[in-house]
């Protein structure tokens, strides 16, 4: 008996007509099918009869339908229908046939940091909707992020898919059977959180944020943060620190690198608290103008305001202006001639000064006092004109 149900093109299953095989996974096979009711192509996911006999596996399958029905968001693949036929269950999703982030990485390698931040913001918004419904995805990886290129974006709008590994942490959505048996590791090792790899059972939405950080790391550098197989790879997630993305790609902004490393923290409580906050941060990073500009530098630049071009106080405003079309040059200082001894020569007298020197002394030089004898009288006595006058008075009295 085969592990998977293989349906040939043209086969009718659950009211849908099989067109081709889109992919195969752990739960079954995904087909592209025609939906006659909606007149559109859909993605039909069918699990095998062998797995249908396993109650725990069927619980996981039914949980996928319950999780998808509880989430309605542009960044999440929409569930259209669910049912069972001939002992095999199936789910019908909207068809997103433009590929996945895994195909994009294989085709282009590492993406520019702005495109990586923009795609990561869309994935974070989809995770926020999943967490708001009380669910944990548990398997966030590039192959589970589909690209819908029907919109204006060049790379397409990311859509989170494959809810086969989700687990409810909300009491209203809890079920009696767990999705995984005790000690069983569920997820993809390259993008798995340490607490998830440890199979401790305390897996919350913060595990999805770790996987989102690993996905962003792969978009920026072209590879996951850790490589290896089996237990060695799991141990790296639990003990080793990832290499900073800027050491791989120097153009990555410091702010984006800090966010990725925060998402890849080993302790869940050290990571960002919600997918919604991560989405807002990635949107801001994708829209920032300077690639290496940190948040602190941006806040300081905004607080200081634009630099004023007006002249400073106390200076001539005309001195700072220059005529248009002419380069602004500064004249060299004038050098004064010096004599042989190194002293500056006396300044030549002007005609006006020479004219003043030819005038009589009485007109050119004012007397020391307004009233008094002439210069000859002042110089005759030893005590000046006062002494001469006193002697004259004494002689006249005698």
Residue 268 and residue 209: Cα distance in Å, rounded?
A: 9
34 catalytic, yes or no? no
Q: Where do the H-state alpha helices sit in the chain?
A: 49-52, 55-70, 101-108, 113-132, 194-197, 205-221, 230-239, 245-248, 254-263, 275-287, 295-304, 351-358, 361-364, 375-380, 385-397
Catalytic residue selected from 103, 139, 162, 283: 139
H or E stretch including 81?
A: strand 79-85
Which value, to the nearest 10 degrees, does the dihedral of the CA atoms of residues 24, 25, 29, 32 take?
-60
Query: Which residue is it, tokens 């300044």?
Result: 347
Residue 62 and residue 82: Cα distance in Å, rounded?
A: 9
C-alpha pair distances (Å), 194 with each of 189, 233, 237: 10, 10, 5
Residues 234/226, Cβ–Cβ less than 8 Å: no
Token code pair at residue 222? 């072209």
Phi, psi of 28 (to 5 degrees): 165, -150
Which is it for strands 29-35 and 40-46: parallel, antiparallel or unpaired? antiparallel
DSSP codes of every residue in 86-128: TTEEEEEEE---S-BHHHHHHHH-SPPHHHHHHHHHHHHHHHH
Which residues are marked as active site? 139
């Amino acid at each position: 008996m085969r592990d998977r149900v293989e349906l040939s093109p043209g086969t009718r299953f659950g009211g849908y007509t099989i067109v081709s095989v889109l992919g195969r996974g752990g739960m079954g096979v995904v087909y592209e099918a025609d939906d006659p009711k909606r007149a559109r192509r859909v993605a039909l996911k069918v699990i095998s009869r062998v797995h249908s006999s396993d109650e725990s596996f069927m619980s996981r399958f039914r949980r996928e339908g319950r999780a998808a029905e509880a989430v309605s968001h542009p960044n999440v693949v929409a569930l259209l229908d669910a049912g069972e036929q001939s002992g095999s269950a199936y789910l019908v999703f909207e068809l997103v046939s433009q590929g996945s982030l895994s195909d994009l990485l294989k085709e282009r390698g590492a993406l520019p940091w702005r495109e990586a931040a923009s795609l990561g913001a869309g994935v974070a918004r989809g995770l926020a909707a999943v967490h708001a419904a009380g669910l944990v995805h548990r398997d966030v990886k590039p192959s589970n992020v589909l690209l819908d290129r029907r919109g204006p974006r060049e790379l397409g709008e990311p859509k989170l898919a494959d809810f086969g590994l989700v687990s409810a942490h909300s009491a209203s959505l809890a079920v009696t059977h767990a999705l995984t048996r005790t000690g069983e590791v569920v997820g993809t090792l390259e993008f798995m959180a340490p607490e998830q790899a440890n199979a401790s059972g305390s897996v919350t939405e913060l595990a999805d944020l770790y996987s989102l950080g690993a996905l962003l790391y792969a978009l920026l550098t072209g590879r996951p943060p850790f490589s290896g197989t089996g237990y060695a790879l799991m141990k790296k997630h639990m003990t080793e620190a990832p290499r900073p993305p800027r050491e791989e790609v120097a153009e990555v902004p410091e702010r984006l690198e800090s966010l990725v490393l925060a998402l890849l923290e080993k302790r869940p409580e050290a990571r960002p608290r919600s997918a919604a906050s991560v989405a807002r941060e990635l949107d801001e990073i994708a829209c920032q103008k300077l690639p290496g500009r940190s948040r602190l530098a941006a806040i300081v630049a905004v607080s200081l305001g634009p630099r004023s071009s007006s002249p400073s106080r106390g200076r001539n405003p005309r001195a700072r202006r220059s005529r248009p079309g002419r380069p602004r040059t500064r004249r060299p200082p004038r050098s004064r001639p010096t004599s042989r001894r190194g002293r500056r020569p006396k300044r030549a007298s002007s005609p006006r000064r020479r004219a003043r020197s030819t005038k009589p002394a009485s007109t050119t030089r004012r007397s020391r006092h307004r009233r008094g004898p002439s210069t000859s009288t002042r110089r005759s006595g030893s005590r000046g004109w006062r002494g001469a006058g006193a002697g004259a008075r004494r002689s006249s009295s005698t």
